[in-house]
Each structure stands twice: as structure tokens, then as C-alpha cells.
Copies of this chain bind each other. A is one copy, B any other.
Amino acid sequence: MNYKNRQKKILKLIEEKEIDGIVIISNENIFYLTGAPLNCNKFLYLSRDGNLYIITNEMNYQEIIDSVEDVNVIKTENFIEEIKKLGKKVGFENKKISYYTYEELKKDLELIPIGNYIEEMREIKDEDEIKLIKESQRITEKSLEESLKEIKIGMSELEIVAKIEYFMRIYGAESYAFDSIVLSGIRCIYPHGRPTRKIIEKNEGIIIDIGVRYNGYCSDMTRTVFIGEPSKNVIDIYYAVKYAQEEAIKNAKPGITGKELNEIAINVLKEYKLEKYFNHGLGHGIGINVHEEPFINKKQEKKLKCGNVITIEPGVYIPKVIGIRIEDMILITENGNKNLTNFEKMPIVL
């Protein structure tokens, strides 16, 4: 990863803001700038002179030392006191920091907000990042493909998720991008629901929304599959969602706003009188966080840019009846986009 280049951009901000350095508390931002493990407690301080300091505790010291280069790693029991030794006028992630940490730091420091500066850098993925996101997605796809062969009537949602996650680990998932979602029948209406002991019955739909983390990068895909032939009504809804997704993907390119893209999906659903059952945003950026900027929803005025990786995931949720969602990850390119998801999108009947 090109950490040096990323760090240079932070140094530019330090110069612009005329500050001594920047303290970074977000594990994702620290990983982006140094490669230090996401799961270790730490702060990062970038100094105006170009020096980097990771402040951590005894427990995480060795793991960090073994994973970063050209970074001073400081072992301490009080991260905040250590930061105070490194600068006086210090930039901070005002959208990320806790009120408590802010109050403690500001006792001795002049704190200058840097907003979403690093998150905005992260919106544009470089080639190395795109490669990892693709590899992450390949793991997710292979796991679903293998698992679908084994899904049968009479299995529970938990048994299905057990099989999927088993393959995810076998194929190399270092962890999960989020709590796997496997819901069946009328439970499909919960966009963020969790799998239970509920048994899959004949003619039910199953929403499978899954993703892994691989070398720090997340994948995210949703398919709705069926046990036994679905009714004509269900198939009609499925195709409406699929059509909404395809129209949105067709229009995803540099210059269009998240709001406009969201509207395109809603307009398709309107043709089927289903728009009132679509109760969430159309998608989100994805990278080191599974949900990150740019979000694709009715409030988003930001224009898409070449290098964004976003999900497109319209859904229709009719209480007590059915839920259907289809989700792909796409990379915004110079002239349009490239779908990073290689998985059957026609209704899969098991």
C-alpha cells in the first residue's frame, strides 16, 4: 500500500491549517495511513516534521511493531497524556472523536477540527485497494455458491449461516464485514435482522446479505433465493427490484449525485407501485468500513467520482408478506462503472 503518499496528503493539510500535527483515533483511518492492525487499541499522531507516532498499550505493542514500518511506536497506559507531549495546536477528527476524549485533550491542547478529510481521501480507491475489495468479494461469492448447493427445506436460518460462514473462513475471511443476515419468509422484511432457529418452509424466500473482510477490505452482496417455485406475485416483485437495481447501475457514473441515483431506483419501483415498500437508502460506499462515504440516498448531493466503490441495493419489504433485496458492489470508472459482483441475479430456485 502507498502509505507514504497518503501521509503526504495529511502533511499538506497540517501545513494548510498551520498546526503542529494531527491526532487520529479512528482505527480505520490509522489502518489506511499506516497498515497498523484494525483490532488494536491505539492513537496515531502525524507530526508536521513528517514523523509518525502510534501510541498504544503494552498488550498491543508487539502486534503493532510487527506490522508497521517507519513509525515510532510508544507504549503507555495513558494515550491522551502522550499526545499532549507531541504537539500544542493539533488537528482532530471532530466527526469521530468521543466527547470524553475531546474534553480530555482540550484541557491542554488547541484543537482544530479536520472534519472528514481522511474519510474523503478514502472515498477514492487506488488499484491496490480495488484488488483487495475484489478478492474479498470473490470469497463472499464462492462461499454463497458452495452453500446454496446444501440449502434444503427444514433447515434453519442459523444452519444456513453456519454453512456460509464456514466457507467464508475456509476461503480466507480474516473476519466478517458485518453480522451475516440470513432471513426467511416474513422475517425478510427486517433489513438488518439476524438469523434465528426459524425453519425454512416450502415456497419461502430467503434473503442472504453477507460479506467478509480480507486484508482489511470489506465485501458486501445480497441475493434473495427461493425454496420451491415462488408465486407469480413474488416473481413480479423480484423483477421490479432487479430492474430498479439494473437501471441504477446503468446510470452510475462520475458526476451523478447519490440523490439522483436513488431517485432512478425509486422511479422504477413507482412503475410497479412498490416505492412505499423501499425503506432505506439505495447504497453506500465500501472499503475499510463496510458502510462509508459516499452514501447513496435521498439526501446525498455529492457527485460520484471515478474510484468510488459503492453498493447498489434496492429492496422491497411488505410487512407480513415478503422482503426482497438485491445488492451488487460497483466501481465507478471514467466512463461509467464496472460491476465487481459476479453472481447470478436471476431468481435462484433451490
Chain A contact residues, CB within 8 Å of chain B: 37, 39-40, 57-63, 77, 94-103, 158-159, 161-163, 165-170, 172-176, 179, 189-197, 279-280, 299, 317, 319
The CB with the most chain B CB atoms within 10 A, among A59, A163, A169, is that of A169
Let me know if A169 and B165 touch, CB within 8 A: yes
Let me know if B59 and A280 touch, CB within 8 A: yes
A194 to B31, CA, bound (A): 15
Q: Tell me how far the C-beta of A282 lies from the nearest C-beta in chain B, rounded to whole angstroms.
A: 12
Q: Hey, which chain B residues are within 8 Å of A197, CB to CB?
A: 172
Contact of A158 among B159, B161, B172, B299 (CB under 8 A): B172
Closest to A115 in B: B100
Closest to A95 in B: B100
Q: Hey, which chain B residues are within 8 Å of A63, CB to CB?
A: 190-193
Let me know if A60 and B192 touch, CB within 8 A: yes
21 residue pairs A–B, Cβ–Cβ below 8 Å: A57-B280, A59-B191, A59-B280, A62-B189, A62-B190, A63-B190, A63-B191, A63-B193, A77-B299, A95-B100, A96-B98, A97-B98, A98-B99, A99-B102, A102-B102, A158-B170, A158-B172, A163-B166, A174-B194, A174-B195, A175-B194
A280 to B57, CA, bound (A): 9
A256 to B233, CA, bound (A): 65
Let me know if A319 and B62 touch, CB within 8 A: yes
Contact of A94 among B57, B95, B96, B99 (CB under 8 A): B99
Closest to A190 in B: B63
Let me know if A59 and B169 touch, CB within 8 A: no
A161 to B39, CA, bound (A): 17
Q: Which 8 A-B pairs have the closest CB atoms?
A: A162-B169, A59-B280, A58-B279, A99-B102, A166-B166, A63-B190, A175-B179, A97-B99
Q: Tell me how far the C-beta of A253 lies from the nearest C-beta in chain B, rounded to whole angstroms.
A: 26
